[in-house]
Structure 1
Amino acid sequence: MSLQLDEFAELALDLTSGISDADRFQRLLTTIRDLVACDAAALLKLSGHHFEPLATNGMEAEVLGRRFVIADHPRLEAIARAGDVVRFPADSQLPDPYDGLIANHPSDLKVHACIGLPLLVNQRLIGAVTIDGFNPNQFDGFSDRELRAVTALAAASLNNALLVEELELLSAGGGERVGRPQSAQPGEIIGQSAAMLDLKREIGIVSSTDLTALVTGETGVGKELVAEAIHAQSPRAARPLVYLNCAALPESVAESELFGHVKGAFTGAISHRQGKFEMADGGTLFLDEIGELPLSLQAKLLRVLQYGDLQRVGSDQPVQVDVRIIAATNRDLKQEVSEGRFRADLYHRLSVFPLWVPPLRSRGQDVALLCGFFLERSRSKLGLSGLSLTDAAQQAVMAYAWPGNVRELEHCLFRAAVVARSAQSGDRIAIEPAMLRLGQTPASPQPDMADQDGAEPAALREATDQFQTRLIRQALEAVDGNWSAAARRLQMDSGNLHRLARRLGLK
């Protein structure tokens, strides 16, 4: 068996066709699969220390969401180091990263034949093509020379796409984040649904400008990732991205956090201190939960946005700053304006370029991609060789509405992975539907205000504090620790909740 000239010509013609990269990559894999009669194939892009799937054929949809850290996967590491065609023996003891991820096959079915094609441009690794089959002798009829020709065409296709991407992002660099752990890196926006592609297109448009952006969407949809993406693709990317959660700011210190203070401005101000605006000078300030900002501070924020100068608390000297603002909220700010809780002029100043992040329930197959992303992350954290969902668990995940959006999905999968590891032996784990606990909430003990075992009843203040503490904790657990959402759940002002929580020792 050998590859014919017209088959190579078909691969080459796709390089010059006017189709999108996604379609070109998919056609590339379809052609390769037809040529070598494999059961599954994947095109991977090298991104830092991991391989990112750009297209797959014959695999579960979730594979596209996985990010394979090369050091965690011996076969991928061997491909990355080889520089030439890699043929793995049928009895190779190296775990295959795709075991349990081949479409329409039992999750415990192992791949028997595997070839890796490293994609090189000027001796530089840019990606790889993997070809897998269940017959141990499936690829014996193809010579390394023929496979090198396939490799060259695949490398040219990928390199063309990377060059275009590099030109589009020529002015972007890696931004520094302030207000988050230094080890944290800007996250990746996973999704290929129409709504997410529209969002990514809008991010690309607004990133090249200095316009103020307002990111809206439900709790847990990933608004902070949008802010990170805007900053990372902007001309300010080499400057700091400073984060401030307005909902977590007690009103008494909010002004100092935003604008800074001078020594002696108030009790405890023992030195001069820069605020978030000065820390973000030349870069970007991300104001999360902007809808929780007190009205008294909204006017001062508006002045900075209008004139570009601020005054530190305790000083009458103006300080000029050059800051790009990105704000985010899960509230309907138009409604907040109509009800007098948010200034109309500030709303119009912030919403110059609005971006809406869709809820997970409306994103279709993006759920599968996100499952792959979080499962691979959980696999790495738990030190497993493989982690996947059973077919029934996949169906349950796709059918669930995910009211907590992406954050709920992430927490659900990690919790299920921990449960699965404790319930199953070995280091290749499959998550069953019951382990997901979808739609279930742990029963909360009801407060019993009656005497217990004849004990004296507690004082009214003590009993009230215990009851309030329990309710606040339950509300926080229900919204993944989001104080703003907890306040709305408890139907109380956010500032009052923070003050009550401090008095009860919860903060």
Structure 2
Amino acid sequence: MTTHPLLQAIIPLVADIARELPSAERYRRLLEALRVLLPCDAAALLRLDDGWLLPLAVDGLSSDTLGRRFRVEEHPRFTALLEADGPLRFPADSSLPDPYDGLVEGVKGHLPVHDCVGCVIRVDEKPWGLLTLDDLAPERFSRVDLKVLQSFGSLAAATVSVAGHVEQLRSRVRDESLRAEGYRLAAAPRARGLIGRSPAMRQLQKEIELVSGSELSVLIQGETGVGKELVAEALHAGSSRAARPLISLNCAALPETLVESELFGHVKGAFTGAVGERPGKFELADGGTLFLDEVGELTLPVQAKLLRVLQSGQLQRLGSDREHRVDVRLIAASNRNLADEVRAGRLRADFYHRLSVYPLQVPPLRERGRDVLLLSGFFLEENRSRLGLGGLRLDASAQAALLAYRWPGNVRELEHLLGRSVLKALGRHPQRPRILSLTAGDLDLPDGHLQVAPERVDPSPASASASTRPRLRDGEGLRDAVATLERELVTTALAQNDYNWAAAGRALGMDRGNLARLAKRLGLPADKRALRAWRSP
């Protein structure tokens, strides 16, 4: 007896409902089953959040799509799907622009989507999000497919409902109203949240969740441009103080003569130009959180006064003897190594220990792998919306260039580079295109910051002889071949640097710790003598 295709697709998903799975895996399996049932070039699951559609899972679309945020009112197809009672089909001659034009994976050029169907997912009778299917062939979908999609949409609603209930159970210990507010702030594109799925970012997000509900002072350290302010906002949003203000002060942006006034306030006549009484940042943050960015720039005298406030909760405005009591949680940030600043005598040891009750290290972008594509999708969607473009994408060469670059300026450099590159790419077109595709040439990344030194690896196919190009051995898969190449690069870098792990790490664009972990994963010995023996034929 032959099983109906719909039933074949549904049975594994029904079984998954009873299993404990991460939400991302549930959504991935959902799209996988949908594409088996209704073969197409691309599928996506999007969640509706306050007028925006956020991609939770994609299959067949470019990697940066997961980092995008689609404003519903800017995409008439999404609006029509959300307002429809059932599935809708947009044929090849539809005049409504498709949000995925140019985003289908593996397609060169600007070939637009030709056939598209979608349906709204409703949970508790309210629109939760959308399921969409796209194909580059015209007339791909039929009326029968719409009926099948309607049935599948009901199962999708059950899946997302289960995923939501599981997530609520995991977060039961947290206050419900603060949790909901935290999710809203984290997802809202207008108040940028932390974007990333790399192991380094997952660990950082785990630590943020752990410490945000406490009253501990947090010291956020990391290179310039990694997003330390976003970490501070996430800590505040997840705390019991989320309903109170988060007050920020960049300590490096103020002259030394004004720092005390900004922090503690002043009274009339306290100094020339003090024509009235004014509260400082501490008083403004009373009951909430004070974020001091670049705290290492504070002078030693100001550090001493700040330490007193942190210890006693009492302060005096500049020029006044009156005590003011404040209840403030402090979050500090610096791109310097503050322990080194203590040893150099530029930072008080007691002040440092008061700040770093719970230290957080924000990873640089070069250690976050494919997060660069998620972030690129976010920034490209911002630029697409601001410039009124129908579509904005990265071609394969641009994606490869972004992944190979070392990003000395981190996320901030990526944001500015993409904004600049979009304008440069637009300038190449005499007429404004509906879909704009960025190439590696548009990015114009400097060669001096590639992940692998140019003199060791030449990516040009023309420059590589047949004997030096990577080849798969008999029975060897892609993963094994990549591991073999990684072992060769790591051992070569170690040999060239006299088996000094720190020097080899610098040559490979990695820190010593990451190189050691990579070597362990690859099965390489840590001992210098054993490594030499391993390299010997």
- What is the TM-score with the length of structure 2 in the denominator? 0.78
Deviations 1:379-417 (A, max 9, x none): 111111111122212211111111100000000001010
Contact 1:311 1:319 in 2 (8 A): yes
Instruction: Supply the distance in 2 between the matched residues of 1:2 and 1:132 (Cα, whole angstroms).
Output: 23
Q: Match for residue 51 of structure 2? A: 49
- Residue in structure 1 matching 2:438, options 414, 418, 431: 431
1:268 Cα deviation (Å)?
1.5
Secondary structure at the residue paired with 1:117? strand
Q: Match for residue 496 of structure 2? A: none
- Residue in structure 2 matching 1:294, options 277, 296, 299: 299
- Residue in structure 2 matching 1:195, options 184, 200, 221: 200
Equivalences for 1:133-144 in 2 at 5 Å?
133-140=135-142, 142-144=144-146
Range 285-294 or range 3-12, more displaced? 3-12
Q: Match for residue 372 of structure 1? A: 377
Q: Match for residue 522 of structure 2? A: none
Alignment of 1:112 with 2:114, yes or no, is yes
User: Unpaired segments of 5 or more residues in structure 1?
Assistant: 176-182, 442-507
- Residue in structure 2 matching 1:314, options 319, 337, 350: 319
- Residue in structure 1 matching 2:88, options 86, 89, 111: 86
Contact 2:6 2:148 in 1 (8 A): no
Q: Match for residue 70 of structure 1? A: 72
1:138 Cα deviation (Å)?
2.3
Contact 1:171 1:234 in 2 (8 A): no
Contact 2:32 2:59 in 1 (8 A): yes
Contact 1:99 1:107 in 2 (8 A): no
Residue identity matched to 1:437: D
Secondary structure at the residue paired with 1:407? helix
Q: Match for residue 341 of structure 2? A: 336
Contact 2:264 2:316 in 1 (8 A): yes
Secondary structure at the residue paired with 2:266? coil
Equivalences for 1:433-472 in 2 at 5 Å?
433-439=440-446
Secondary structure at the residue paired with 1:142? helix
1:5 Cα deviation (Å)?
2.2
Q: Match for residue 498 of structure 1? A: none
Q: Match for residue 35 of structure 1? A: 37
RMSD: 2.0
- What is the TM-score with the length of structure 1 in the denominator? 0.82
Contact 2:6 2:37 in 1 (8 A): no
1:165 Cα deviation (Å)?
4.4
Q: Match for residue 405 of structure 2? A: 400
Q: Give the paired residue count.
A: 434
Contact 1:360 1:402 in 2 (8 A): yes
Contact 1:171 1:235 in 2 (8 A): no
Contact 1:2 1:146 in 2 (8 A): no
Instruction: Supply the distance in 2 between the matched residues of 1:125 and 1:141 (Cα, whole angstroms).
Output: 23
Deviations 1:146-196 (A, max 9, x none): 322211121222233334545636242659xxxxxxx99531111000110
Contact 1:187 1:228 in 2 (8 A): no
Instruction: Supply the distance in 1 between the matched residues of 2:122 and 2:327 (Cα, whole angstroms).
Output: 43
Alignment of 1:208 with 2:213, yes or no, is yes
Secondary structure at the residue paired with 2:403? helix
Range 105-114 or range 209-218, more displaced? 105-114
1:339 Cα deviation (Å)?
0.4
Residue identity matched to 2:417: C
Deviations 1:116-144 (A, max 9, x none): 11111122111111111123232216354
Instruction: Supply the distance in 2 between the matched residues of 1:113 and 1:356 (Cα, whole angstroms).
Output: 46
Q: Match for residue 256 of structure 2? A: 251
Q: Match for residue 490 of structure 2? A: none
Structure 1 residues 4 and 84: CA distance shift in structure 2, 3 A: closer
Deviations 1:429-485 (A, max 9, x none): 1112222121289xxxxxxxxxxxxxxxxxxxxxxxxxxxxxxxxxxxxxxxxxxxx
Residue identity matched to 1:432: T
Structure 1 residues 40 and 382: CA distance shift in structure 2, 3 A: same
Instruction: Supply the distance in 1 between the matched residues of 2:301 and 2:189 (Cα, whole angstroms).
Output: 33
Equivalences for 1:231-250 in 2 at 5 Å?
231-250=236-255
Instruction: Supply the distance in 2 between the matched residues of 1:139 and 1:15 (Cα, whole angstroms).
Output: 28
Q: Match for residue 534 of structure 2? A: none
Q: Match for residue 395 of structure 2? A: 390
Instruction: Supply the distance in 2 between the matched residues of 1:246 and 1:9 (Cα, whole angstroms).
Output: 59
- Residue in structure 2 matching 1:264, options 258, 269, 294: 269
Q: Match for residue 413 of structure 1? A: 418
User: Unpaired segments of 5 or more residues in structure 2?
Assistant: 183-187, 449-537
Identity %: 53
Instruction: Supply the distance in 1 between the matched residues of 2:397 and 2:201 (Cα, whole angstroms).
Output: 27
Range 44-53 or range 75-84, more displaced? 75-84
Contact 1:174 1:238 in 2 (8 A): no
Secondary structure at the residue paired with 1:114? strand
Range 143-152 or range 247-256, more displaced? 143-152
Residue identity matched to 1:427: R
Range 125-134 or range 408-417, more displaced? 125-134
Contact 1:83 1:120 in 2 (8 A): no
